[in-house]
Amino acid sequence: MHLETEKKLKASVVPIFERLHSEIKRKAKELRTGATKGSKLVEKARSTTQKEIESLGQYSASLGIAGRGKIEPDHDPYVLYRSVYYHLNKQITEENTNLQAMLAIQNSFQQFESHILETVQNGLNQFFQCMGAQMDRQRAMYADMVSAAQQIPTNFEWANFSERNNAALIDPNTPPRALDSMTFPNQDHPATKPLIDGHLDRKSRTPMKGYSPGYYVLSPAGYLHGFKDEDLCHDPSPDISLHLPDCSLGPLEGLKFHVKGKDASGGKVGSTFHMSSEHHFKAHSKQDADKWFAVMGSVVGRSPPQPSSPTVSRKVSKTNGPNPVVAADTSSPTSPTEAQQGEDPATSPQAEGTVATSPTKA
């Protein structure tokens, strides 16, 4: 398209300005030759007239001198007088001719300037037509580009992309995950199920504050943990942790009871150096108070659970020899308490209301 416009400009616009350039050069040459030639002729005529006037003055003065002899006919003042008039007339003619020539050149310049402007206007008009045609073609091309782009559906790229990569994309109908549907190892382990849980009020150490509500859990490990609420998604660190086998339980007085022991919620070092103190609790009903007191009473003062590792018992078999034969028995383990006291684990107080398993991390 630009090459075609270039051809049109060279064929229709450039020649106009080239011809105008030639005309300007020719007009300048005409001015130099015409004006210079007329001026030279005028100068020559003026010089000749001046010489004749000087001769007339010379010989007119010499004619009146006494004793002057005969003069030549060419030097007769009368003849010289006529010669001055002749050359003066010729000078005036040359001057008038030169004046007319200069006026003609001057008038022609006015017309020539108009011609220059008309030629430039014509050339610019041709240039406008050529460039306008190019701009019209460009405008049509841009309009075609816009029209072609607007015909593309907005989901064209995504539809093709999703069709090619359907296996790697997420199904929009996939339901969001919920915490209630999650499972993990040891989620239902007996050691994770509380012996009792619920809301209790605990008396603050500051006398003016009174009782503060909280959510408390008695775990199979023997710890009474206190939390701000029962939401499992909140901070799992308990506000208070009492190891009930190491604590003492006071009497039940209506809805109130107290536990004396060390708070182990600050870590091993903190619980080692922490002094024992009384923690006062209050249930919301008499039924809740009796239930909490009974379950906590079954845990307070009991021995901590022993690790479930296999033990070897020795059975002595009678032989005829002097030394008995000892055989290893890998039967079910027996705790030291059972071995010493001979109690049945099923009827022992330690088995009441608890699960004899070690807590396992999920």
- The 3-class SS string of 65-130 reads CCCCCCCCHHHCHHHHHHHHHHHHHHHHHHHHHHHHHHHHHHHHHHHHHHHHHHHHHHHHHHHHHH
pLDDT value of residue 60: 78
Query: Cα–Cα distance between 99 and 174 in angstroms, integer?
Result: 105
Q: In a 3-state reduction of DSSP, which class is residue 37?
A: helix
Query: Cα–Cα distance between 242 and 247 in angstroms, integer?
Result: 7
Q: Is the distance from CB of 105 to CB of 30 less than 8 angstroms?
A: yes
Query: Cα–Cα distance between 115 and 134 in angstroms, integer?
Result: 29
pLDDT value of residue 232: 81
Q: What number of other Cβ atoms are within 10 A of residue 113's Cβ?
A: 10
Instruction: Convert the pLDDT of each residue in 62-99 to its tens digit.
Output: 776 644 566 777 777 788 888 888 888 888 988 888 88
pTM (two decimals): 0.44
Q: What number of other Cβ atoms are within 10 A of residue 115's Cβ?
A: 15
Beta bridge partners of 282: 201, 256
* Helix and strand numbers, DSSP H then E, in the chain: 7, 9
Domains of the chain as residue ranges with CATH: 2-149 (1.10.287), 190-299 (2.30.29.30)
If phi over 0 gives left and psi between -120 and 50 gives alpha, with beta otherwise, what is residue 222?
A: left
Query: Cα–Cα distance between 86 and 56 in angstroms, integer?
Result: 13
Instruction: Convert the pLDDT of each residue in 141-197 to its tens digit.
Output: 999 999 999 999 999 999 999 999 999 988 888 888 888 888 889 888 899 899 999
pLDDT value of residue 326: 36
Q: Is the distance from CB of 220 to CB of 190 less than 8 angstroms?
A: yes
CA distances from 253 to 27, 197, 216, 280, 328 (A): 133, 20, 19, 11, 54
Low-confidence ranges of the chain (pLDDT < 70): 34, 64-70, 267-274, 301-362
